[in-house]
Amino acid sequence: MYSTFSVSFGLKFKFLGEVLLAGVIDAVNQSHSQIFVKLDEQLELQGKRVKKMVNLQEEILWKLEQCPAPTFSRFRIRPITTFSTSLNSSH
């Protein structure tokens, strides 16, 4: 029913398809590998930046602890001892 030419051509076509598909899959795998390498580099850089920020925050907190507490001697706050409203007074 099939000639040897069509069977041979079909096998070659199938092989060519497999080769092309393998080329696409290899490219996809390689691009994912490159993405993971770049992602790893990015995470490493971010980790270094976060450590720097933590060190700076700790330094700032330490400096704040060493400073004397601010005083507000210019402002005199008087406690409220009596409270009257117009609702409580009768006219």
Interval 37-70: pLDDT, tens: 888 999 999 999 999 999 999 999 998 888 876 6
* pLDDT tens-digit series, residues 65-90: 888 766 666 666 666 666 655 555 55
Residue 46: which of 35, 34, 38 has the closest Cα?
38
| Range of the structural domain that residue 55 is part of | 37-68
Residue 64 maps to a domain: yes
Does 57 fall in a domain? yes
Give, as one character, the DSSP assignment of residue 55.
H
Domain-embedded: residue 49: yes
Q: 5 lies in a domain?
A: no
What percent of the chain is helix, strand and coil (3-state, nearest 5)?
Answer: 70, 0, 30
Count of domains for the chain:
1
